Amino acid sequence: MSKRFGIVVVLILGILSPLLVQSLRFDIQSGHTKCIAEDIKSNAMTVGKYSIVNPNEGHPLPESHKVTVRVTSTYGNNYHYGDNVQSGQYAFTAAEAGDYMACFYAIDHKPVTTITIDFEWKTGIAAKDWTNVAKKGQIDVMQLELKKLEDIVQSIHDEMFYLREREEEMQELNRATNSRMGWLSFLSLCICFSVAGLQLWHLKTFFERKKLL
Amino acid sequence: MERRKRSGSVKLFIILGFLLSIVGHLSALSITVNDVECVYEYVLYEGDTVSGNFVVVDHDIFWSSDHPGLDFTVSSPGGNTVHSLKGTSGDKFEFKAPRSGMYKFCFQNPYSTPETVSFYIHIGHIPNEHDLAKDEHLNPINVKIAELREALESVTAEQTYLKARDARHRRTNESTRKRVVLYTMLEYLVLVAASSLQVVYIRRLFSKSVAYNRV
């Protein structure tokens, strides 16, 4: 009974945790655009949340503080679009690997105001919903912490494999460039000789024709 | 006795739930710096270790040399500079936050060409003996788990740095390959053009229309 109550408390705190989870803040001036990009692997879960920070506490946000948000992939596919909003969130599974861009455009306003946006973008294991895991498994909070650590270790392991693959690709690329450079230099030597030979032959026949040689 | 034990375990859950939500970190984000770009992060506790890294991903520079790099400064909520790096194309940083509050991480581009920076910032908190003494339900095992998590975070940060550097290295390699092929083709064309110009010039020297036997 107390265990279930404890899990409920954890869930409530999980819902309240946007107050506690760290997020990034940046400023945009009215009429300007700022884009933040992130490199996401294919089939990775990603979650993003953005909201405009209220400059005066207690009063509602002024109408001039609105942004248009667009999240696109490298190939131009649109994953999220928020038009003239003050906060929002998006979640999707990345179909293509590559750089995903979240662009914020602050709407035009005559006295140029600076809008502060609170933004959070989590990918991969950080995007996993731990409160659901806790609820489903009915497990101890300590076990949840340790499960999180296990997931982090697994992701580190996968990342090492990915880095190793990339390094191999790069080595292949370098080796190919090296051999290509060798062939091109050899070809340049051949062209040099053949052009010189052609010149000599052409001038010889030319002078013989002109009866000068 | 029974009620006290129940409220005790509820408190434990509250504390652990609080701890759970503190796993806050960003994945590596990229931002294009035209002049100055600043990012703010809130540090919850004084004495937290703020660590991170950033790598400047060069844009395709075809003729000029490598971009000299960006300036990076970290300002505390009081306004003084906590950490600064000048003219680097990527580095790691780590410092202990002297106080809690909103810290400002700024990238400054002294040149007109825009540069893209890929950065990663992590704020780690390990409950110390002071927190342990304040709340008797905080187990020493939580400290060990927090230390373990911080160690794993540092490995993740290192991997992010390596990945960003690898991406930049790959860009340089691809640009080198393109340049090699382009310049070699250009060299062939110039060679053939120069030799044909030579032949044409010599023929003209010997042609009858210029002057008879001027040579």
ipTM value, please give it.
Answer: 0.78
Q: In this complex, is the C-beta atom of A174 within 8 Å of any C-beta atom belonging to chain B? A: yes
CATH of A20-128, picked from 2.60.40.420, 2.60.120.380, 2.60.120.680, 2.40.240.20, is: 2.60.120.680
- CB distance B152–A174 less than 8 Å? no
The stretch B128-132 carries a mean pLDDT of 73
Residue B62 has pLDDT above 80, yes or no: no
Ramachandran quadrant class, B115 (left: phi over 0; alpha: psi -120 to 50; beta: rest): beta
CATH 2.60.120.680 assigned to domain B25-173? The reply is yes
Contact B5, A6 (CB under 8 A): no
Residue A131 pLDDT: 78
Q: In this complex, is the C-beta atom of B19 within 8 Å of any C-beta atom belonging to chain A? A: yes
Residue spans per domain, chain A: 20-128
Residue B10 pLDDT: 47
Q: In this complex, is the C-beta atom of A39 within 8 Å of any C-beta atom belonging to chain B? A: yes
- Which of A11, A20, A46, A72 is the best residue to mutate to test the B interface, defined by the most B CB atoms within 10 Å of its own CB? A20
Percent of chain A with pLDDT over 90: 33
- CB distance B191–A166 less than 8 Å? no
User: How far is B24 from chain A, CA to nearest CA, in Å?
Assistant: 5
Residue A110 pLDDT: 81
pTM given for the model: 0.79
Q: Which residue of A has its CA nearest to B150?
A: A149
Contact A177, B177 (CB under 8 A): yes
Who's near A17: CB < 8 A, 6+ residues apart? B20, B21
Angstrom CA distances, A75 to A45, A78, A79, A96, B142, stand at 18, 9, 11, 9, 44
- Dump pLDDT digits (tens) for A150-193: 999 999 999 999 999 999 999 999 999 999 999 999 999 999 99
